[in-house]
Amino acid sequence: MNAALLEVGGLTARYGQITALHSVELSVAPGEAVALVGANGAGKSTLMKCVMGMLAGASGVVRFAGNDLTQRPVSARARIGIGYAPEGRRIFAGLTVHENLLVASPDRDNGRARAQEVYEFFPALQAKSHAMGWSLSGGQQQMLAIGRALMTRPRLLLLDEPSLGLSPLLMNEVLDRVAAISAAGTAVLLAEQNVHKALMVTRRAYVLKLGRVLHHDASDALLRASHLSAAFLGA
């Protein structure tokens, strides 16, 4: 295994009196796809916000490519190579697909080239490049949200529940695209409630329950031990 790209150590996060994460340890290797699975309220979104530096009052260490990011702001974390697609497909409804991509690019010339690369991952977006954000289906909006996070050419992509609210068919399509993104070399940390599919498209997985890492293992091992994963997930 390569040296870790992302290393999270002793991560504890609180919302007032509620402790949402208890001393979580997690790592992602370069180019690796890792699933973060667990029921509602397990702490998946909180962990992603902490990696991105969006939560005041978190403690612990976040290291990326050997750099200590613990005291670094969100902008520095984005610049160093972390992309983030938060839960809920936040796209600009009043801009076209192409404009949505370009506004997420650090510079205009590279933006056009990068948008082409994004379209290669998501041909359905290319076909809709002049369509307004509001006119897209749920699956297309999710693809656009992921595409926007890819515009900075991140080395690590944080994806928070990309399949939320999608039909099983679209959920499969979106998560297959996530697998393609990681196969092309971008590391992915994927928070998902669709455990089976998340385990199919990742190499390793962490099971979170009530803010603690209950278990971590190779995704295929967790898939084989479905009785165990059902127990871990309370399914």
Q: Which two tokens stand for residue 103?
A: 């506004």
Q: Near ligand ATP by CB under 6 A, which window of 43-51, 56-64, 171-179, 221-229?
A: 43-51
Q: Which of 11, 24, 37, 43 touches ligand ATP (CB under 6 A)?
A: 43
Shortest distance (Å) from residue 6 CB to ligand ATP: 17
Q: Near ligand ATP by CB under 6 A, which window of 12-20, 64-72, 148-156, 173-181?
A: 12-20
Round to whole Å and give the CA distance between 151 and 5: 19
Q: Which of 11, 27, 38, 64 touches ligand ATP (CB under 6 A)?
A: 38
Round to whole Å and give the CA distance between 152 and 116: 13
Q: Which of 11, 32, 45, 105 touches ligand ATP (CB under 6 A)?
A: 45
Report if residue 194 touches ligand ATP, rule: CB under 6 A. Answer: no
Distance set, CA 224 to CA 82, 165, 207, 218, 235 (Å): 31, 27, 15, 10, 16
Report if residue 40 touches ligand ATP, rule: CB under 6 A. Answer: yes
List, in sequence order, every beta strand (DSSP E) within 108-168: 156-160
- According to DSSP, the β-strands at 6-15 and 58-64 are antiparallel
Q: Which of 9, 31, 41, 165 touches ligand ATP (CB under 6 A)?
A: 41
- Residues 6 or more apart whose CB falls under 8 angstroms from that of 34 comprise 26, 28, 187, 188, 189, 190, 202, 203, 204, 205, 206
Size of the site for ligand ATP (CB under 6 A): 11
| Closer CB to ligand ATP, 16 or 66, in the complex | 16
Q: State how far Cα 60 lies from the chain centre.
A: 20
Binding site for ligand ATP (CB under 6 A): 15, 18, 20, 38, 40-46
